[in-house]
Chains A and B, each alone.
Chain A
Amino acid sequence: EIVMTQSPATLSVSPGERATVHCRASQSVGSNLAWYQQKPGQAPRLLIYGASTRATGIPARFSGGGSGTEFTLTISSLQSEDFAVYYCQHYNNWPPWTFGQGTKVEIK
């Protein structure tokens, strides 16, 4: 099973600043990497798939990068609605898929 490790666990950022979340896979997953956002009491929402393709309706301030084992999610200028928990997930080859443990982006 591929292990996904996110860092940091918590990221404290001021509104308007840039935030970067890291995700590392224990072995190569190619570009088969997705990012999700989850707010309290809500279901997760897909942000990015294919490592860098934004899902429908996702603002351009969200961008994904990387391939192989190292990935990043960048929010260029944090808005109040972006404070949430972010998860990466690989879907390489055949299941089982695995998620990272999550990164909480909080207001500094």
Chain B
Amino acid sequence: EVQLVESGGGLVQPGGSLRLSCSASGFPFTDAWMSWVRQAPGKGLEWVGRILSKGGGETTAYGAPVKGRFTISRDDSTNTLHLQMNSLEIEDTALYHCTWEAVAGVSVHWGQGTLVTVST
């Protein structure tokens, strides 16, 4: 069974940093292309970014609102995906989901998410 479990969310002040993690199991993580998708409270879905597998050069891509502030990385030795978030803004407040692109570009499997709140 595919499992994606996010952690690391919490309350942070504007300008602060936070690192999210996603523990993956039940599928070949080493070969997986992974994404982060977020959802602000009461709002729609927003694509954050993605990372290809090592075989794909661990190439990353980001949405415009987070480019230059967020960094996606992976640790294949522990089957863990990370999202480093710097210079956080109030608008970054959201539930952050880790997803597995079992079909390239398509978030076939989703974690339940971890909540990030940026507030004074």
Residues of A within 8 A of B (CB): 1, 32, 34, 36, 38, 43-46, 49-50, 55, 87, 89, 91-92, 94-102
Known: A95-B61, A97-B47. A43 touches B106 (CB 8 A): no
Nearest B-chain residue to A55, judged by Cβ: B108
Are A96 and B108 in contact, CB atoms less than 8 angstroms apart? Answer: no
User: Which applies to chain A's interface (DSSP): helix, strand, loop or mixed?
Assistant: loop
Known: A43-B111, A43-B113. A95 touches B49 (CB 8 A): yes
- Bound-state CA distance A79–B5 (Å) is 30
- Bound-state CA distance A50–B112 (Å) is 24
Q: Which one of B15-23, B81-89, B97-105 is at the A interface? A: B97-105
Tally A-B pairs: CB < 8 A.
61
Known: A1-B64, A98-B47. A91 touches B105 (CB 8 A): yes
Residues of B within 8 A of A (CB): 37, 44-47, 49-50, 61-64, 97, 103-108, 110-113
Measured between beta carbons, the chain A residues less than 8 angstroms from B47 are: 89, 95-99
Nearest B-chain residue to A91, judged by Cβ: B105
Task: Report which of B64, B103, B104, B107 forms a contact with A44, defined as CB distance below 8 A.
Answer: B107
Are B61 and A44 in contact, CB atoms less than 8 angstroms apart? Answer: no
- Bound-state CA distance A55–B108 (Å) is 8
Measured between beta carbons, the chain A residues less than 8 angstroms from B111 are: 43
Known: A43-B97, A95-B50, A96-B62. A32 touches B105 (CB 8 A): yes
